[in-house]
Amino acid sequence: MNKTKRKIFETAMQLFADKGYEATSIEEITATVGVAKGTLYYHFSSKEEIFNFLVEEGMKLLKNSIQIKTDKVSSYIDKIRAIILIQIKVIVKYESLITIILSQMWGKEERNKRSRQYVFEYLNIVEKIVREGIAKGEIIDRSPEIIASEIFSLTSSCLIYKLKTEKNIDIQSMYKEIEKIAISGIMK
């Protein structure tokens, strides 16, 4: 991604997270970046395309990170531990992106459907690992869909904690707390 496209991407991500998708205009994005509309339209055909690019790239990053880490461990409980840690790291590092995705999951617009689709695709990856862990006898025999959703919800709660306490998230401390809750609930 070239420098200008990256700047548009980062600016739009911050504006969408701070003001919301609807309240952010193309004019505001171009003014903040300091480029003409034509330059923005050279890289993205619309605000919707910027949004789609943000969500797609963010979820790709999360899925790839999970794949790389879980391939390195054999125990399914350790795979879940890796997922928890990666999710927290991604949430902390890309807070604006996660805020956008979570805020846009509800509704009937195309971007809402797309946000749901990407989150559900990601949850399917976690569900598959949980299913395999159940089959191997490492994870308690419960609904993989619920377990995957619980793990995603627990890690996403980092954002609520940060809002409430107005403190930066200490990744290792947050991981230890969430790991205790999540792992104790699924271990056999």
Calculate what percentage of the chain has a pLDDT beyond 90.
Answer: 95
pLDDT 10s digits, 116-143:
999 999 999 999 999 999 999 999 999 9
Looking at residue 69, its amino acid is K
* pLDDT at residue 187, rounded to an integer: 87
pLDDT 10s digits, 68-102:
999 999 999 999 999 999 999 999 999 999 999 99
**Residue with structure tokens 């330059």?**
39
* pLDDT at residue 163, rounded to an integer: 92
pTM of the model: 0.91
**Residue 22 pLDDT > 90:** yes
**Residue 188 pLDDT > 90:** no
Q: Which long-range contacts (CB under 8 A, 24 or more apart) does 96-100 make?
A: 96/13, 96/14, 96/16, 96/17, 96/18, 97/13, 97/17, 97/54, 97/55, 97/58, 98/58, 98/156, 98/159, 99/17, 99/159, 100/13, 100/16, 100/17, 100/21, 100/51, 100/54, 100/55
Q: Using 50, 70 and 90 to split pLDDT, how confident is the model at 183?
A: very high
* pLDDT at residue 86, rounded to an integer: 96
Crossing angle (nearest 10°) for helices 76-93 and 47-71: 150
* pLDDT at residue 137, rounded to an integer: 97
Residue ranges and CATH numbers for the domains of the chain are: 1-45 (1.10.10.60), 48-186 (1.10.357.10)
* pLDDT at residue 1, rounded to an integer: 82
Calculate what percentage of the chain has a pLDDT beyond 70.
Answer: 100
**Residue 29 pLDDT > 90:** yes
